[in-house]
Structure formats: C-alpha cells, structure tokens
A and B are shown apart, each in its own frame.
Chain A
Amino acid sequence: MNKKGYNLIMVMFEILVVISVIFLTFQVAKSYASSDSVDKENLAWDLSMMVNAMVGVPGDAEVEFPNNVSRFSIVMHDRGVKVFVKGESEVKQSFKRFYLPEKYSAEGTIDQGANEPISKICLKKSGYVFELKECVGNV
C-alpha cells in the first residue's frame, strides 16, 4: 500500500468529518433558533389559560391578546386551541386542551393566509360562547 497516498486520503477524510460535524451542529442550532416552536407553544398555552381564566368570570368579557400573532394561524374549538404556521405538518402544530363547563362552547379561526396578516386578536365571552376573532376598534 502506498503510505503517502493512504495518509492523504485519511487527512482528507478527517477534514471532511470535522467539517460535516460543524455543519450539522450549526444546522441543528439554526433550525431551533429560527423555528417558531417556542412562540407557538407559548401562544397556545396563553390562549388556553385565557379561556380558563374567562370561564371563571361570571358575565361577559372581552380581552385583547397583548402580543402580535401575525406569524400564526389559530383554530379554537370546544376542546382546545391549536396554533400553527400555515402549511406545516400536524406534528409541528401546538395544541392545548381545555375543558369547558356544560353549555359552554368555543369557536374561532385566525387564518393568516387569507388576506392581510392579523396581528391583534381578541377573545370574547358572551353568554356561554367563547369567540376568538380579530380585534376591531378598542377593547
């Protein structure tokens, strides 16, 4: 075996491995840093807790969510709230369950793909119905 040739191949192989490890590590870090998973999870938590808090309020109420949500689509129904970036797979979506008392219902969809991005959302409780919608005017 030609020792020089072998050593050269090994050196190239080592350099390739080091480069690929560095690349992989940066890719993993970059994908986490640029992903919306933390914001999605926190938004889903916040909305489900807002529903729970408003269930505990006798009478009607309306609350404006204090953060910009223009990056996310949201679907709320009787059993929970789902937050996702339009087009992403089911696995990546954040879902938080809540339990409403009998007679109560929840509904509402914030669709970010339809028209202009919706940045401000409101949660309204009127009677036994929770409605998630775009804020209109001052709350």
Chain B
Amino acid sequence: MKTPVLKPLAVALIAVLAAPAFAAAASQLPAPEKIVLKNGLTVYYLRNSDLPVVSFRMFVRGAGTAFAPAGEEGVAGLTAALMTKGTAKMDAEAIAEALDFMGASFSVSAADEYAQVSGDSLTQHFPRLMEIAAGCLTGPSFKDEEFAKERARQVDSLKSLKDNPGAAVRSYFRKAYFDGHPLGRVASEPSLAKITLQAVREFYARRFRPDRAIAAVVGDIERERLVELLEATLGPWANPAGAAASEAIPPLPRPKGKTLVLIDKPDATQAYFVMGAPGYAMGDKVTPQATVMNTLWGGRFTSWLNTELRIKRGLTYGASSLFWTWAPGGVFQASSYTKNDKIVEALDLTFGLLAKGGREGFSAEEVESGRNYIQGQFPPTLETNASKAGAYVRLAFYRVGFDYYDKYLAAIAKVSPAEVKAAAAALLPQNDYVLVVVGRAADVLPQLKKYGTWQEKKITDAGF
C-alpha cells in the first residue's frame, strides 16, 4: 500500500476534526428527526432507502474507560464486552448465533468518555437485531464463567499486542502522558487481574441507564415502524432510582519539561515513537485554525512531517500527527518509526519542524491547499448510514448542534495564514512534551537521552 490505512479510532476523530464544506449551499448532515421514547430516551432518525440496510448507534455518557476506578483500569471495556455475553433470555452462544445467522453486526465497546453501541443489519433483520440489542443493554446476565473467559482473553490480547510495537506504543504513550488522570486508565494485565465480577456489575448498574444514552437510527425503515420497534425493545429500559454516577472528567494534565519513556524490545529492528503535548477541547473555537495547521504539518500525505521523513528521505513508511479532542481538553500527537540507527535523524527532523511551524508559519498557497483538502475530503466521512448515525450521537454528546459541520466548514473556508501561524505557535510543542519510544534499548537509548529526562521499561514487564 502507498499509505497505511487509518485505524477506526483515528477515522472517528477525523470525522470530528475534518468538519467543513465546499458548496456551502447543501447541509453536510441532514437534520434528523428527534424521537423521544416514553422512557425519555432520545433517538435521532433519518430515513434512507437506497439499500436494504439499517444502522443503529448509541453513546452512553459516563460509561467509558475514563470512569474506571483507579486500580480497576479495564473495567469499562470488560463490562462492555460482557454485555453481549448473555441476557435473561439468551446465553452468549445464542446471541452470537442469532447475530451471525442474520449476517448482522452488534457490539458494545468502551471509548474514553462514553460506551458506544453499534448495530448494523439488513432491513429485514433489524427488528430482531434491536430485540437482541435491547436485551444486552437492559439485562446483561454477567455470569461467572463468561467473566472468567473474557477477562483471560483480554489479558492474553494485551500480551499479544506487545508483539506488535506499532500498536503497543500507543498504549504506552497514553499511560505515560496521562499518568494518574482518568484518560490514562489503560487496561493492563495486573489491573484486569484485580477486577471482580462484582465490580463489573456495579459499573454497569451505575452507568448504563437511558437518561445517559443518546441513540440514532439511519436507514431503510419507516418512522412508524421504527417508533413501534423502539418502544417495544428499548422502551422498557427504566432509569434506576438512584442518582447516576459522575460523568465529569477533570482538566487534562499539562506536561512540564521534556519526558522520555523508552520501552526496550530487544528484537525490534525499527524504533517506534509517539510524542505528545496539550491540544484543545472538542468544540474549541481554535478548531478550524488548528485543523488546517495540523493538516499541513502532519495530517496528510504531503504534510511537512511526511515530506521530510518519508518523501524526501525514505526513513519511514509513515509519519503523521493529529489532535485528539475530548470534552475537557485535547492532545497533539506526532508519531513515526524508522530503523534503529535512524531514530535520531527522524526525531531531530520532527523537532525541527515543530519549531519551524510556530516560527515561520505556512504560505498562503499551503493554507489554501489545506482548506481545500479538508473541505474536499469531508463529504465521504458522512456517506453511509452508519457514519451519519455516528455523527448524530457524537454531535449530540458534545452538545454542539447538528449544524456543527456546516459551521465548521464555513469557518475552515475563512482560515488565514496568520491564524494558522498563531495556531502553530500555540499548539506545536517546543520544550514541554512526553516522548515515548519502543525499540531496542542497546541501540537507541544512548542516542535518545538528549530528548529528555528518561525512564526505561521492558516490553516484557506487565502493564504499560
């Protein structure tokens, strides 16, 4: 492949970041119809009968990884996974069999700030899909045997992840950057070992409730049929009597000074790095300027970073940057990988470009190109039923309005070179950052010490 394909997580993020439009006339995202079920659950709905398929999406606020109690990192992911492993009426096998039989997909997963529920099927199977989804959401059985199996499977998946340094470095970075903060609650072998089934049950009971959920349905289904179906399936989901657990996330840490964490992987023939620094919150007014700046600095194929590391020097297959955004704040992140003996060259180039961005800014032509690119690449991010449904729940979750993308694209169209330079000066880190490298310490550590106060870990150590 010419370029690595973006991982789903990054794609979701880009959909948020890359929000403006070329032809200002048509709305990027058709306004959905709001349906409120008798139990208060809000469902946004849009009909699309082009193909016989329907997508369902739901966010449950306060049920993400950030809400795991300290020491029980991973409880959100474990709870989410176990929700499809048995209900009052169906055991895990029956659920899997029913979903596979329809060729449908259904999952519950834990993002940072929310749990995400996704279901996609052919129109003819959608009623059955929603019956199963409602069973999983409202009455998971959380059996001992399933808990033991799933926890063991997740522990082993984490060990296996460490055989792939490009994937493992992201978890190490998250832990190092957010050490102690809820956004750093990364599941590890030791933390999973401490979680009890009772902890899973409590996490579910306190955090999965209709007054915390936002849902959307997009596809080939009539409104009346949908309302009837939703009332019959999700309608009986009642709010528990007690108050819901907190869904607040404290302000993000702001690293001071230069921190380097090296993870020794003695058999690695490439060194993988991720460096990060404070960014901005979802919906922040700097979003358009910062998005154009990031696009030009490290967000696309011809970005400065990819041009210097890959296109001009052939040091790597991929070099990129992005902004992660959450309600309480965000992070700027740059990453790449190269042969062990080239890591200093790659990092020096990266730091040189970070300094250059704020110092020199970008040319008028570059900024025009960045604006065009963001606008031109936007429509496909909302092309499918699933992506529209995902956008409805995301925009509702962040309370930014369904015209968010139209406003965003209109703002992108007006971003000036001076604004981009200001965004670079404010957001590209110089002296305060966290740098994480996975590589062969014997080769790379002596060269890396100049990048910060360092600590060393072994890839074989438990946890991240």
Do these two chains really belong together in a complex?
no
